Amino acid sequence: MSHRTQLDALAEDILPGALGDLASRHGTARELVQYLEDRYMQSKHHNQDPTGVEIEAHSILAETLGEVASDIDRITGALDHMLRLESTVITTLAQRVSMTASRMRLNEERYARHKLKKVRISRTTKVSQSQEASSVIDGSAASDEMNGTSAVKAALPSHERLAIAKRLQGLRHLVYPELRSA
């Protein structure tokens, strides 16, 4: 039987039944005390010895109080069992929450690494493109070696040297993006 089923049975059947039994015993004990009190008063009123009524009252009340104590013991046992089950459920939920929080942190870390990797890739691409553009403009192998693009330049086809006006005219859309559509 699962914890949830046991908790439901305790909360809906066992505890209300035991509390109902205790309440009915309370009512019965009150009626019994009233009855014994009336018998005691009658025996005193008829000038009889009330000792027999006292002995009977003691035995009946001891039996009734024993039943009440048994009911209370049953209720406390059920409450103790219910609290242990709820404690187990809470512990299980706390472990699940902790595990979910760990998974969330792990996923956040993976997402952050993925985003950082994309930024690095795009930054590397932009840097290599700007180095290629500067080597085309400068046209010097020394600047390629300083920028670390000699391998990139070796992989690219060779370009002929152009006059500075032609080079700048070809790159004006980099300086003036609004001229790109023109």
What is the 3-class SS of the chain, one letter each residue?
Answer: CCHHHHHHHHHHHHHHHHHHHHHHHHHHHHHHHHHHHHHHHHHHHCCCCCHHHHHHHHHHHHHHHHHHHHHHHHHHHHHHHHHHHHHHHHHHHHHHHHHHHHHHHHHHHHHHHHHHHHHHHHHHHHHHHHHHHHHHHHCCHHHHHHHCCHHHHHHCCCCCCCCHHHHHHHCHHHHCHHHCCC
- What is the reported pTM? 0.50
Is 139 in the same domain as 72? no
Other Cβ atoms closer than 10 A to 136: 15
Is 142 in the same domain as 170? yes
Which of 83, 104, 125 lies at the terminal end of a domain, its last residue? 104
User: Would you state the pLDDT for residue 160?
Assistant: 62
Is 9 in the same domain as 87? yes
Q: Are 133 and 168 in contact (CB under 8 A)?
A: no
Question: If 0-12 CB within 10 Å is exposed, 13-18 middle and 19+ buried, where does residue 149 land?
Answer: buried
Give how many domains the chain has, as a whole number.
2
Q: Are 81 and 10 in contact (CB under 8 A)?
A: yes
Is 66 in the same domain as 122? no
What is the chain's pLDDT, residue by residue, as a tens digit (182 residues)? Answer: 787 788 888 888 888 888 888 888 888 888 888 988 888 888 888 888 888 888 888 898 899 889 889 989 988 998 999 899 999 989 999 999 999 999 999 999 999 998 888 877 776 666 566 555 555 555 544 444 455 555 555 555 555 665 666 666 666 556 566 655 54
Question: If 0-12 CB within 10 Å is exposed, 13-18 middle and 19+ buried, where does residue 115 land?
Answer: exposed
Q: Domain range spanning residue 139?
A: 116-179
User: Would you state the pLDDT for residue 20?
Assistant: 87
Which of 55, 74, 104 lies at the terminal end of a domain, its last residue? 104
Length of the chain measured in residues: 182
Is 25 in the same domain as 80? yes
User: Would you state the pLDDT for residue 141?
Assistant: 47
End-to-end CA distance of the chain: 78
